[in-house]
């Protein structure tokens, strides 16, 4: 009976203390794509993704009912860091859904004006608000509605103590007329949160490496906690002892989850689901290094192919630079390229299930071949060049010395001054299944078959390569067909032999392709990148670092006259590829099964323009 009454009392007090409007809630998942486009259109950093922000404590004075209910201790505010624009997962502050939706748009505009300057919270948000209203006049009406609705919800200064009232009055003036308040008065409590502004003290994110050279040595598949929320983090020292749990008071057991070992690199917990559940409930992570050898490292090393079982090394030791976006410097000789090729791949015929499609594509691509043209003034040929002969006769009769060396013409086939290199992503993710019958690597293999069959019909010079990496040394590049090789049954055998590799150091692969294409004499050079995901690797290359390095590599290729173009089957490709390759430099294939047929046709469109 006591438990039932307590439950009813809790529900009643929680409902009375409720200051939200869940019936008018707007969720970030419904606007994520729109907000990403809007943020970039406003001039925001194109390398940032849009993610949900975690709730943080605000330490402001709460009402009596809220204190009794134990609610309203945390709030979700927006902020941006080097990786993402973080917005509230749900906004239900206002009774009108349109206002909650407008708040998302206003926060995106506000964050687009933020360039990361370190200034006091009140001053910074006033300047950002003023700048956003000046830059985007269409937001002024939205801001006025949001401001008026929020001011009606804020505490009445007359009900507050003097110091808190002065603080509240300053915030109200700053909201009404941004830029007019110089400083925030000091009070005994923190001010009530301002959801129309960016976070006063965003949670710090803890990364896995202390220094660029301290790289994660684990190669096991880590089951990372990713619920779309950001959490506070701190770095601490590894506790002494065996890590066992010793309790005297039984209620201490309730807090064990705050100290659960959630090892991102080792995954040696016996119950991973239990560890993940504990991690999801944490609001703050404590991260440390224990430096102990773990089984997953040994397992990864055993999975590496031995020299006897690996592909033949064609070239080893090529060093390429890499862009460090944090320090805005190019790190020279940072990545080592290892070029390999399959030595024992048997020559094979085209797979039967592709023969019909290949025949159709060859017929279409033969139309891309330049028309046969007459070459005049040749030393030899199939016919006499009448114009050259008449000119020769006239010169002789007029007494001029004339030679009859170039009196023929010949009908010959023209040639397209074009070279294309296709670089296929052979990372570990290509081992995943599209359906119950095909893996991603199978689709890539079929795409290479049909691409090569189609281009061989045009006579265009082309090369086929694949790549994967295990950190910056080595980046493995698989040579399937070089430019100076003819496409043959041996080439098909090498395509059949490709298999999933490791990770995706995309910038190094683009720079390697850049060097190969620069050696080609063609006037037009096309780089096709075939991928199934974002740039990533075991070390710091994961995240923004890899994205920025890839973008820099694409820019370098374009500056040298190469045309880079990305073809991806990643459903989220539209979120990051415009930043990497530009709005017209990529295409997303939403049905991976269609990639083998669409890739040659895409090449035909690119080279016809």
The DSSP element (H or E) to which 354 belongs, if any, is helix 352-366
* Pair 352, 283 in one domain: no
Whether 536 is covered by a domain: the verdict is yes
Radius of gyration in angstroms for the set of CA atoms belonging to the chain, rounded to a whole number: 32
Question: In the chain, what is the greatest distance between 2 CA atoms, to the nearest angstrom?
Answer: 129
Whether 291 is covered by a domain: the verdict is yes
Q: In 3-state terms, what secondary structure has residue 256?
A: helix
Three-point CA angle 534, 549, 481, nearest 5°? 70
Predicted confidence band of residue 209 (pLDDT cuts 50, 70, 90):
very low
CB neighbour class for 562 (10 Å; exposed up to 12, middle 13-18, buried from 19): buried
pLDDT one-digit tens code per residue, 591-609: 888 999 999 989 988 887 5
Whether 206 is covered by a domain: the verdict is no
Q: Which of 128, 144, 176 finishes a domain?
A: 176
Three-point CA angle 399, 404, 407, nearest 5°? 125
Cβ(379)–Cβ(405) under 8 Å?
Answer: yes
What percent of the chain is modeled with pLDDT above 90? 41
For residues 169-186, give the mean pLDDT: 92
Three-point CA angle 474, 476, 481, nearest 5°? 155
* Pair 168, 273 in one domain: no
- Provide the whole-model pTM: 0.70
Predicted confidence band of residue 395 (pLDDT cuts 50, 70, 90):
confident
Alpha carbon distance 533, 530 (integer Å): 10
For residues 94-106, give the mean pLDDT: 93
Q: Which residues pair with 374 in a beta bridge?
A: 411
* Pair 362, 510 in one domain: yes
List the domain range (segments joined by +) for residue 397.
Answer: 372-413
Cβ(87)–Cβ(52) under 8 Å?
Answer: yes
* Pair 482, 396 in one domain: no
* Pair 256, 119 in one domain: no
**Dihedral pair phi/psi, residue 412, rounded to 5°:** -130, 160
* Pair 492, 518 in one domain: yes
Sign of CA dihedral 7, 25, 171, 157: negative
For residues 200-220, give the mean pLDDT: 48
Q: Which residues pair with 339 in a beta bridge?
A: 315, 477
Whether 215 is covered by a domain: the verdict is no
Q: In 3-state terms, what secondary structure has residue 194?
A: coil
Closest C-alpha among 28, 87, 86, 49 to residue 576: 49
> Residue 264 pLDDT > 70, yes or no?
no
Whether 602 is covered by a domain: the verdict is yes
User: Does the bond joining 86 to the residue before it have cis omega, within 30 degrees of 0?
Assistant: no
* Pair 140, 286 in one domain: no
Domain count, the chain: 4
Check residue 483 and give its pLDDT. Answer: 93
* Pair 351, 453 in one domain: yes
Cβ(563)–Cβ(581) under 8 Å?
Answer: no
Q: Which residues pair with 470 in a beta bridge?
A: 472
How does the average pLDDT of the chain come out, rounded? Answer: 80
> Residue 303 pLDDT > 60, yes or no?
no
Whether 68 is covered by a domain: the verdict is yes
Cβ(295)–Cβ(268) under 8 Å?
Answer: yes
The DSSP element (H or E) to which 299 belongs, if any, is helix 295-303
> Residue 324 pLDDT > 70, yes or no?
yes
> Residue 479 pLDDT > 90, yes or no?
yes
* Pair 349, 260 in one domain: no
* Pair 327, 379 in one domain: no
* Pair 481, 404 in one domain: no
For residues 276-285, give the mean pLDDT: 56
For residues 533-560, give the mean pLDDT: 92
Whether 308 is covered by a domain: the verdict is no
* Pair 356, 376 in one domain: no
Q: Which CATH number do you get for residue 330? A: 3.40.50.410
Q: Which of 303, 329, 344 finishes a domain?
A: 303
Whether 13 is covered by a domain: the verdict is yes
pLDDT one-digit tens code per residue, 501-520: 999 999 999 999 999 999 99
């Amino acid at each position: 009976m006591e438990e039932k009454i307590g439950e009813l009392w809790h529900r009643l007090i929680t409902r009375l203390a409720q200051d939200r409007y869940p019936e008018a809630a707007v969720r970030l998942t419904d606007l994520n794509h729109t907000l990403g486009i809007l943020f970039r259109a406003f001039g925001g950093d194109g390398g940032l993704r849009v993610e949900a922000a975690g709730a943080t404590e605000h330490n402001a004075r709460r009402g009596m009912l809220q204190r009794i209910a134990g609610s309203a201790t945390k709030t979700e505010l927006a902020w941006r860091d080097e990786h993402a624009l973080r917005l509230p997962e749900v906004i239900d502050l206002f009774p009108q859904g349109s206002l909650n939706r407008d708040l998302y748009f206003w926060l995106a505009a506000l964050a687009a004006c933020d360039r990361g300057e370190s200034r006091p919270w009140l001053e910074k948000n006033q300047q950002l608000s003023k700048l956003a209203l000046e830059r985007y006049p269409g937001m002024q009406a939205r801001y006025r509605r949001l401001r008026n609705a929020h001011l009606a919800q804020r505490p009445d200064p007359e009900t507050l103590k003097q110091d808190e009232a002065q603080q509240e009055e300053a915030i109200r003036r700053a909201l009404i007329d941004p830029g007019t308040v110089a400083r925030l008065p000091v009070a005994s409590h923190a001010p009530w949160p301002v959801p129309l502004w960016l976070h006063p003290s965003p949670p710090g994110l803890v990364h896995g490496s202390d220094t660029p050279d301290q790289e994660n040595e684990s190669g096991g598949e880590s089951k990372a906690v990713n619920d779309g929320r950001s959490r506070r983090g701190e770095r601490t020292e590894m506790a002494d002892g065996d890590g066992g749990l010793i309790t005297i008071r039984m209620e201490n057991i309730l807090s064990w989850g705050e100290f659960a070992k959630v090892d991102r690199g080792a995954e040696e917990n016996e119950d991973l689901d239990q560890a993940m559940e504990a991690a999801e409930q944490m609001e703050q992570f404590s991260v440390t290094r224990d430096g102990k050898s773990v089984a997953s490292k040994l397992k990864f090393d055993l999975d590496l192919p031995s020299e006897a079982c690996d592909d033949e090394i064609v070239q080893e030791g090529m060093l390429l630079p890499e862009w460090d976006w944090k320090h805005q410097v190019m790190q020279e000789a940072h990545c080592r390229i290892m070029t390999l090729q399959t030595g024992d791949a048997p020559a094979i015929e085209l797979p039967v299930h592709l023969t019909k499609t290949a025949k159709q594509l060859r017929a279409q691509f033969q139309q891309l071949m330049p028309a046969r043209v007459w070459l005049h003034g040749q030393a030899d040929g199939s016919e006499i060049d009448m114009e050259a002969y008449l000119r020769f006769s006239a010169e002789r009769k007029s007494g001029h010395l004339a030679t009859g060396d170039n009196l023929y013409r010949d009908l010959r086939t023209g040639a397209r001054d074009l070279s294309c290199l296709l670089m296929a992503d052979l990372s570990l993710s290509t081992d995943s299944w599209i359906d119950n019958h095909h893996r991603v690597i199978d689709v890539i293999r079929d795409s290479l078959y049909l691409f090569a069959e189609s281009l061989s019909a045009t006579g265009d010079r082309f090369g086929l390569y694949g790549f994967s990496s295990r950190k910056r040394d080595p980046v493995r590049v698989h040579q399937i067909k070089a430019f100076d090789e003819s496409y043959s049954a041996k080439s098909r055998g090498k395509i059949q032999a490709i298999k999933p590799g490791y990770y995706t150091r995309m910038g190094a692969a683009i720079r390697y392709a850049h060097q190969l294409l620069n050696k080609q004499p063609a006037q037009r050079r096309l780089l096709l990148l075939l991928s199934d995901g974002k740039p990533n690797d075991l070390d710091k290359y994961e995240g923004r670092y890899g994205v920025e390095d890839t973008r820099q590599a694409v820019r370098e290729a374009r500056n040298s006259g190469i045309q880079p173009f990305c073809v991806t089957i990643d459903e989220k490709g539209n979120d990051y590829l415009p930043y990497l390759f530009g709005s017209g430099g990529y295409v997303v294939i939403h049905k991976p099964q269609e990639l083998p047929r669409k890739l040659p046709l895409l090449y035909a469109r690119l080279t016809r323009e």
